[in-house]
Amino acid sequence: MKFRSKYIFIILIGITSLSYCKLPSFSLKPGGKNNAEIPGNSVQVDYFENQSSLASSSASITLTEEIKDIVLAQSKKELVSEQGDWLINGVITQYIVNPISIQSGTDNAQQNRLSMTVKVTCLLNDELMKDGNLQKRDSLVIDPTTRDGTFNAYVDFDATKSFSAIEDELLTELVRQLSQDIYDRIFGGKW
């Protein structure tokens, strides 16, 4: 009986001490400056065309789909194929591999860098912009005069590895970085 009382006492102490612990809290606030509501209910993400001569044939599709995935996962906006309140589109303008770390005494690189540049355009539906405040909100889009923005990302890799063998892995990382940057700039309050 004494053995059982000891366990009950330990369990009660544990429960009491846990009740004083603060659990992490999460918020699903809409983002934006001062957590203001972002106008509109839907987002249309058009195909990101590849204008770079060196980019992988799958780069456009991968980037477009990742941006759609982030919009679905990180916002309350509905993803639509046409007539969205927000229209996001763009082009891949650069996709290049450069050496970044040359071995001493040789011309061989130890590390290479894969870089990708994307030019993005984002527009807010005209009907939502009628209110003067929303019109200013639309200028969040990067450059208020052109509503365009340029995003860059890079991934470094070992130069001794075959680029074609690891390109898909590198592209996945680049696209993840770019998609998150694009989403954060448009919906994350960097205006």
Write out the chain in H/E/C secondary structure.
CHHHHHHHHHHHHHHHHHHCCCCCCCCCCCCCHHHCCCCCCEEEECCCEECCCCCCCCHHHHHHHHHHHHHHHHCCCEEECCCCCEEEEEEEEEEEEEEEEECCCCCCEEEEEEEEEEEEEEEECHHHHCCHHHHHHHCCCCCCCCCEEEEEEEEEEECCCCHHHHHHHHHHHHHHHHHHHHHHHHHCCCC
pLDDT in tens, 47-69: 999 999 888 889 999 999 999 99
97: containing domain:
2-187
CATH number, residue 176:
3.30.160.150
pLDDT at position 32: 46
Q: What is the pLDDT along the chain (191 residues), one digit of tens a residue?
A: 556 777 777 777 777 766 665 554 444 444 444 455 677 889 999 999 999 988 888 999 999 999 999 999 988 889 999 988 889 999 999 999 988 877 666 667 788 999 999 999 888 876 555 554 444 344 344 455 555 689 999 999 988 899 889 999 999 999 999 999 999 888 875 43
- Please tell me the total count of domains within the chain: 1
| Residue 47: predicted pLDDT | 95
The per-residue pLDDT for range 15-34, each reduced to its tens digit, is 776 666 555 444 444 444 44
